[in-house]
């Protein structure tokens, strides 16, 4: 036996191991695939609804709504101007519909990530055991190449919007969970002690103290989640999610340089808008931290 060769399993053993895993998963798929699909039906309907809503809204109204939201969140005319220019360019260059589809899936994805991620983050902040349990799972979610978990998702749910959304959420969920956990754990222990001394229940503590004080951190998590889900749109387009990802995919396979570039820039523009708006908003909600000792 030589040391340069690792004593691996025999080929037949390895093949049968893989086959048994594959077969049992296939059985699982056949058994539960349909009921899982039904389970995700409301999500699918929500996705279709939001896409239709964005697509059927007249474009001037849509731009006005986006600009108004940007202003409400950031109170900055510079950002509003950026939003206007970006959307008008996107429309003029013929990417309006794809951009609306991408916006729709990003919005739904962010909402789901918030709805799922914040409670998990809160639970994690309350128990060290749970934190030790969930942290490695989050690591796997973030580092596992997305193609690997696309395989079982597609086997279970086929090709379409819902599996795409799930793939995006798996990738984009960890930051919001982590930053919710971190934000709550970083709340000044003196303030928590004061809350205990005044007889707060743990719910009152969560609502009145921990969540408001963790908000900047949670907000950074939401921002990260949006950025990461945007970066997933191309991969999601491989399993049938329509939007800016599909032209990019087409551009890769056919070597259409300018097509890839334009759609890529549209994704970047949306990312920058989301990022600046949410960062400005995050800064505004923690104004109380800026001491003004002349007060």
Partner 1 sequence: MDKLKQPKIKIVNLSKVFGRAPKKMLQLVQQGMDKTELLTKHRHVLALDNINMELQEHSIEVIMGLSGSGKSTLIRHINRLIAPTVGEVLVDGENICGMSATQLRRFRQKKTAMVFQNFALLPHRTVIDNISFGLQVQGQSEARIKRSSHYWLERVGLTGYEKHYPAQLSGGMQQRVGLARALACDADILMMDEAFSALDPLIRSDMQNILLELQTELKKTIVFITHDLDEALKIGDRIAILNQGKLIQQGTADDILLHPADDYVRRFVADVNRTGVLRARSIMDVKIQSNPDFSNTVVVKEDDTVREVLHSMLSADSYNALVTNQNGKAVGRIDSEMLAAAVNN
> Which residues in this chain contact partner 1 in the complex, by CB under 8 A?
188, 190-191, 193-201, 204, 208-209, 212-213, 288-293, 295
Residue (5 or 190) nearer to partner 1, CB: 190
* CA dihedral for 217, 219, 222, 223, sign (positive or negative): negative
DSSP class per residue in 151-173: HHHHHHH-SSHHHHHHHHHHHHH
CB of 180 to partner 1, least distance (A): 17
CB of 178 to partner 1, least distance (A): 22
Alpha helices (H) in the chain, listed in sequence order: 11-39, 41-56, 59-74, 77-92, 96-126, 128-143, 146-157, 161-185, 189-197, 202-205, 211-231, 233-237, 245-254, 257-285
* Cβ contact 245:234 at 8 Å: yes
Would you tell me how many other CB atoms lie within 10 Å of the CB of residue 259?
Answer: 16
Residue (88 or 194) nearer to partner 1, CB: 194
CB of 202 to partner 1, least distance (A): 9
Residue (6 or 198) nearer to partner 1, CB: 198
Query: In whole angstroms, what is the distance from residue 274 CA to residue 99 CA?
Result: 14
Helix (H, G, I), strand (E, B) or coil at 74: helix
Q: Angle between the 245-254 and 96-126 helix axes, to the nearest 10 degrees?
A: 110
Residue (103 or 195) nearer to partner 1, CB: 195
Residue (11 or 289) nearer to partner 1, CB: 289
Residue (253 or 290) nearer to partner 1, CB: 290
CB of 222 to partner 1, least distance (A): 18
Query: In whole angstroms, what is the distance from residue 259 CA to residue 265 CA?
Result: 10
CB of 185 to partner 1, least distance (A): 16
CB of 213 to partner 1, least distance (A): 6
Query: In whole angstroms, what is the distance from residue 31 CA to residue 156 CA?
Result: 10
């Amino acid at each position: 036996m030589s040391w340069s060769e690792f004593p691996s399993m025999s080929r037949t053993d390895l093949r049968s191991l893989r086959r048994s895993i594959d077969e049992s998963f296939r059985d699982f798929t056949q058994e539960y695939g349909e009921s899982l699909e039904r389970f995700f039906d409301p999500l699918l309907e929500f996705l279709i609804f939001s896409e239709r809503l964005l697509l059927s809204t007249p474009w001037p109204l849509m731009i006005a709504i986006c600009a108004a939201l940007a202003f409400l969140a950031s109170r900055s005319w510079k950002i509003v101007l950026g939003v206007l220019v970006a959307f008008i360019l996107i429309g003029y260059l013929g990417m309006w519909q794809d951009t609306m589809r991408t916006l729709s899936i990003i919005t739904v994805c962010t909402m789901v990530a918030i709805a799922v991620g914040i409670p998990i983050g809160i639970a994690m902040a309350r128990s060290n055991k749970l934190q030790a349990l969930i942290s490695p799972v989050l690591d796997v979610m973030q580092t596992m190449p997305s193609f690997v978990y696309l395989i079982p998702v597609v086997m279970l749910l086929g090709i379409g919007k819902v599996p795409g959304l799930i793939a995006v959420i798996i990738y984009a969920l960890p930051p919001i969970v982590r930053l919710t956990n971190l934000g709550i754990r970083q709340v000044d222990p003196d303030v928590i002690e004061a809350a205990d001394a005044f007889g707060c229940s743990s719910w009152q503590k969560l609502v009145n103290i921990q969540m408001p004080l963790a908000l900047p951190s949670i907000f950074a998590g939401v921002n990260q989640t949006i950025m990461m889900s945007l970066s997933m749109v191309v991969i999601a387009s491989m399993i049938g999610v329509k939007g800016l990802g599909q032209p990019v995919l087409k551009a890769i396979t056919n070597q259409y340089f300018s097509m890839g570039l334009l759609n890529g820039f549209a994704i970047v523009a949306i990312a920058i808008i989301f990022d600046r708006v949410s960062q400005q908003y995050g800064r505004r909600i923690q104004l109380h931290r800026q001491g003004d000792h002349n007060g």
